[in-house]
Amino acid sequence: MAVKLIHKTLRMYLIISISVFIISIPVFYVIVQKLWMKDIDESLVYQKEQLIQGIDKHNITSEDILNFVKFSSKIDNGIVIHKLTQAVYKKDSIYNHSFYDSIRKHVEPFRELTAYATINKQPYQIIIRRDLVESEDLLAGIVVAQFSIFILLLALIHLISIGYSRRIWNPFFTLTRKLQEIHLDKASRIEVNCRNIYEFEDLKTSVNALIAHNHQLFLAQKEFTENAAHEIQTPLAVIKSQLNLLSNEASLTSSQMEHISHIDYQIRYIASLNRNLLLLTKIDNRQFALDETVDLTALVSGHCEYIREEVHLANKEIVFQEKPVTLTGSNTILLISLCNNLINNAVKYSSPHSTIYILLNETQLEVLNAGRNEPLPAESIFHRFYKTNASTSGSGLGLSIVTQICKTLNFKIEYRFRNPDQHLFTVFFNQ
Amino acid sequence: MKILIIEDNTELSEAIEAYLTEQEYVCETARTYEQAVEKVELYDYDCILLDITLPGGSGLEILTRLAKENKQDGVIIISAKNSLDDKIRGMTLGADDYLTKPFDLAELSIRIFSLIRRKQFSGKNLISYKNLSVNILSKKVYYDNREVPQLTPKEYKLLLFFLSAPERVLTKGSIAEHLLGDNADLFDNFDCVYAHVKNLKKKLKQAGCTEYIDTIYGMGYKFN
């Protein structure tokens, strides 16, 4: 099942976006976390320095500091200063710390700075802490933000692809539509406005080159078959006319007459063979345009009427059960050839004193005749030059012409044998 | 009756000329396009046999010239091309008939015969040979003013074929092709030709007409 190109690209977009989305969440989380932590650390250090500078500049006494610490522990503003008995020389340390939050009633993460400083010859320990957002909250925030962006992006891509692809691919669709209408027997070029898109210009040029080349080949082939036929028909016409003159000579002996008769018979055979081969080549080359509306009923009954007298003289009969059937998008010559071959075969190979039944309706044409008591080899009868036996006058091309015509017209041909001697050919029109 | 044979193949052209001359037609020939144009412009013919592929030009152009000069010559195209396109093009350009090579001279003869009869508007609806006459309009056949029993369409066609080429041998094959066209190989051994001739003979005999159709051993029939 062929998928539309647009669906294929959209599916690819979707897969890529989902993967990027999934990967981006932890990456975002890590980056945001890091940046944020750095910022908090910097602000903790800055606050510490402000604190030390403030105490130093304004000569704040250790009593006041003690009062401040007492006061600040009551309101929990995150700053604790301890007076030390002796100076500690340690680097500032920043670390994560979790506390039980009595108001929020759960463990809250904090970032804490512990620093040691000697201000006004008095050593202190300073602890400053800042409330952190919980990492789950951060993650959730990122997911929500990313997901909204993701959905928005997908919707946009979809809209653009669907909406614009029709416009962008328009030259392509025009090209394929025009390509379907191309007949090789007519010289033609496909003209499409490619909107200056390189790929379509390229495609158009290639397609036109292909059409031109095929048209040339077609003409050469057509010319060859026609010339070949012409070359054979003219000497045949000469032989035939000379033979006609010869047969009108006076004083021919009976054996001479018999010779003439044999030659005459064989010339007719070659002529009919040549005609049929030419027809087959033309069908193979698709030289018949399928653009006619054909009254099949009139065609079949016309042919039955045309050969009626001869069929009667052979003590046979044709019964035609007709329904009005008209085929469109077809070709008169091909249909005439199809019906005539099937009917003539049935007449030719039917038993003496038998009846040939022809049934025609909207879906099929059936030709039934009584003949030999055994089925025909179903695989080989449609092959070229197949003959039931060497002595029959047919060229062995009739059924292969029928097969080729069926192929050309999208028909299906079927052969069936019914006991004891019924041979049935059915053509399904499939229309 | 004047006939112009435009055909580049010498043997074929001569054979046609020989056959038609014996049937008391006056024949002239043209082998090339130039010769053909010259003769067509200088003279009037009752019938022109026209090959399409000619050295020097296309036979179809001669048709155009005839139409341009408003000439009334009847034209039968004799072409090796059995393609419908050519047939349709020839007919629309003013040809009266189309015969595909190879053809029987007897077939050509009856085509000329019917073409000339159609072209002459003298109200000549009777074709006669000795005591036998055929009314083209009513399709009735008389022998010594006695009516021959109603002929079937094919028997009638066969009789006209005989009448168009009296004293000529018509092979069974040429009769079969005349009556059945491309379907001539419908029956082996041309049994149907034999049966048709037998029935026609029988009906002619009922009107007292005997011994007009001779059987030529092994080959066919001759109308005498």
Q: Tell if the CB–CB gap between A264 and B195 is shorter than 8 Å.
A: no
pTM over 0.90: no
Residue B38 — very low, low, confident or very high, per pLDDT cuts 50/70/90? very high
Chain A residues 191-220 with CB within 8 Å of chain B: none
Pick the closest to residue B170 from B128, B108, B115, B80 (CA basis). B108
Q: Is A168 on the interface with B (CB under 8 A)?
A: no
Structure tokens at A148: 């909204």
Omega before A352 within 30 of 0, i.e. cis: no
Residue B117 to residues A8, A362, A405, Cα–Cα distance (Å):
74, 44, 39
Long-range contacts of A369-373 (CB under 8 A, 24+ apart): A369/A422, A369/A423, A370/A421, A370/A422, A370/A423, A371/A421, A371/A423, A372/A421, A372/A423, A373/A420, A373/A421
| Nearest residue on chain B to A275, alpha-carbon basis | B82
Pick the closest to residue A229 from A288, A286, A270, A184 (CA basis). A270
Q: Tell if the CB–CB gap between A309 and B53 is shorter than 8 Å.
A: no
Which residues from B are below 8 Å from A292, CB to CB? none
A157: helix, strand or coil: helix
Which residues from A are below 8 Å from B217, CB to CB? 254, 257-258
Q: Tell if the CB–CB gap between A272 and B81 is shorter than 8 Å.
A: no
Q: Tell if the CB–CB gap between B173 and A268 is shorter than 8 Å.
A: yes
Q: Does B189 score more than 90 pLDDT?
A: no
Q: Where are the alpha helices (DSSP H) in A58-134?
A: 62-75
To probe the interface with B, which of A227, A248, A391 has the most B CB atoms within 10 Å? A248
Helical pair A198-247 and B105-119, crossing angle rounded to 10 deg: 100
Rounded (5°) CA angle A107-A108-A114 = 120
Q: Is A273 on the interface with B (CB under 8 A)?
A: no
Q: Is A67 on the interface with B (CB under 8 A)?
A: no
Q: Tell if the CB–CB gap between A239 and B102 is shorter than 8 Å.
A: yes
Of A240, A261, A314, the CB nearest to B102: A240
How far apart CA A185 and CA A286 sit, in angstroms, is: 9
What is the structure's pLDDT at B21?
Answer: 92
The answer to whether residues A404 and A333 touch, using CB atoms and an 8 Å cutoff, is: no
Structure tokens at A187: 């010289």
Smallest CA–CA distance, residue B5 to chain A, in Å, is 14
Which residues from B are below 8 Å from A268, CB to CB? 173, 177, 184-185
B215 sits in which H/E element: strand B213-216
Give the A:B interface size as CB pairs under 8 Å: 136
CB atoms within 10 A of CB A355: 14
Pick the closest to residue A13 from A143, A142, A159 (CA basis). A159
What is the structure's pLDDT at A358?
Answer: 96
Which residues from B are below 8 Å from A254, CB to CB? 217-218
How far apart CA B194 and CA B179 sit, in angstroms, is: 12
Q: Tell if the CB–CB gap between A267 and B102 is shorter than 8 Å.
A: yes
List the helix and strand counts (H, then E) for chain A. 9, 11
What is the structure's pLDDT at A370?
Answer: 92
Residue A250 to residues A238, A245, B11, Cα–Cα distance (Å):
21, 10, 21
Render A348-362 in DSSP notation, one character per residue.
HTSPTT-EEEEEE-S
Q: Tell if the CB–CB gap between A247 and B171 is shorter than 8 Å.
A: yes
Smallest CA–CA distance, residue B70 to chain A, in Å, is 31
Query: b/e for A181-196, b at 16 or more Cβ within 10 A?
Result: eeebeeeeebebebee
How far is Cα of residue B206 from the mean position of the Cα atoms in its chain? 28
Region of poorest pLDDT, from A6-10, B96-100, B146-150? A6-10
Which residue type occupies A33?
Q
pLDDT tens digits, chain A, 431 residues: what are they?
Answer: 677 877 888 888 888 888 988 888 888 888 888 888 898 889 889 988 888 888 888 888 878 888 888 888 777 777 888 888 887 788 888 888 887 777 777 777 888 889 888 887 888 888 888 887 766 777 788 888 888 988 898 888 888 878 888 888 888 888 888 888 887 767 778 888 888 889 889 999 999 999 889 888 888 877 787 677 768 888 999 999 999 999 888 788 888 888 998 899 889 888 888 888 888 888 877 778 888 999 999 999 999 999 999 999 889 999 999 889 999 999 999 999 999 999 999 998 899 899 999 999 999 999 999 988 888 887 778 877 777 665 556 677 888 899 999 999 999 999 999 888 999 999 999 75
Smallest CA–CA distance, residue A7 to chain B, in Å, is 48
Q: Cβ neighbours of residue B189 under 8 Å, at least 6 residues apart? A: A393
Smallest CA–CA distance, residue A321 to chain B, in Å, is 22
Of B22, B53, B105, the CB nearest to A230: B53
What is the structure's pLDDT at B122?
Answer: 57
| Nearest residue on chain A to B108, alpha-carbon basis | A241
Structure tokens at A250: 């006076």
Smallest CA–CA distance, residue B93 to chain A, in Å, is 21
Residue A310 to residues A313, B179, B200, B218, B222, Cα–Cα distance (Å):
5, 9, 14, 21, 21
How far apart CA A370 and CA A355 sit, in angstroms, is: 7
Q: Is A257 on the interface with B (CB under 8 A)?
A: yes
B180: helix, strand or coil: helix
Chain A residues 333-372 with CB within 8 Å of chain B: 333, 340, 344, 347-348
Structure tokens at A122: 């008095």
Which residues from A are below 8 Å from B104, CB to CB? 240, 244
Chain A residues 303-332 with CB within 8 Å of chain B: 306-307, 309-310, 313-314
Which residues from A are below 8 Å from B192, CB to CB? 310, 313-314
The answer to whether residues A399 and A367 touch, using CB atoms and an 8 Å cutoff, is: no
Structure tokens at A149: 């962006």
Q: Tell if the CB–CB gap between A307 and B186 is shorter than 8 Å.
A: yes
Which residue type occupies B64?
T
Which residues from A are below 8 Å from B82, CB to CB? 229, 233, 275, 278
Structure tokens at A244: 């006609």
